[in-house]
Chain A
Amino acid sequence: EVQLLESGGGLVQPGGSLRLSCAASGFTFSDYAMNWVRQAPGKGPEWVADLKSRDGSTHYADSVKGRFTISRDNSKNTLYLQMNNLRAEDTAIYYCARDGPSRPWDYWGQGTLVTVSS
């Protein structure tokens, strides 16, 4: 059974940093592209970043470019999101999601809440 389990969320002050983790199981992690998607309270989802499996290329939403870094450790079956210089508008539930075979985001984790506030 495919499982994605996020962790690392919490309360952080503006300008602070946080690293999120997503532990994957039930599939060959290294074979799949992975994403981070966030959802602010009462809003729709917003794609944040992805990391391809074939060439390791990364892409970011303009809203986080230069501040967030997506990475993975295939030996640990874990996806990461390093978030620096956090802003109030980064407050959201952060989900990791797997790109399935010929389809986007076929599995999602349960999410981890990040709150940026003084």
Chain B
Amino acid sequence: DIQMTQSPSTLSASVGDRVTITCRASQNINTWLAWHQQKPGKAPKLLIYKASNLETGVPSRFSGSGSGTEFTLTINSLQTDDFATYYCQQYNSYSWTFGQGTKVEIK
């Protein structure tokens, strides 16, 4: 299985900050990468697919980039609603796998 490694595991930030989360794949996944946001007690929510495509309804302050094995999720001007855990997920080859998550906390 393809291993997905996110960094950092936890990130402390303030409202208005720009934050970047990194995701590395153990092998080339082209751009078959998604980012999901999860809040406590809720199901994950798709934010970004195919590495850089913003899902319908997701604010434009979220953006994704990368290809191959290195990917980033950037949140420009962090809002209160953005404090959550973020997961990258590859869908290049079975079994689909997730990163371990990055928790964005209030500083």
Contacts and interface: CB of A to CB of B under 8 A. Distances in A.
A13 to B, nearest CB: 27
A16 interface: no
A105 B36 contact: yes
A92 B50 CA distance: 28
A95 B46 contact: no
Interface string A101-116: 0111110111100000
A110 B38 CA distance: 12
Q: Kindly name the residue among A50, A105, A108, A111 whose own CB sees the greatest number of chain B CB atoms within 10 A.
A: A105
A27 to B, nearest CB: 14
Nearest to A111: B43
A45 interface: yes
A26 interface: no
A47 B95 contact: yes
A62 interface: yes
Nearest to A99: B91
Q: Kindly name the residue among B34, B44, B49, B99 whose own CB sees the greatest number of chain A CB atoms within 10 A.
A: B44
A109 B45 CA distance: 10
Contacts of A100: 46
Interface string B21-41: 000000000000010101000
A47 B97 contact: yes
B98 interface: yes
A59 B94 contact: yes
B98 A110 contact: no
A61 interface: yes
B46 A106 contact: yes
Interface of B: 1, 34, 36, 38, 42-46, 49-50, 53, 55, 87, 89, 91, 94-101
Interface of A: 44-47, 50, 59, 61-62, 95, 100, 102-106, 108-111
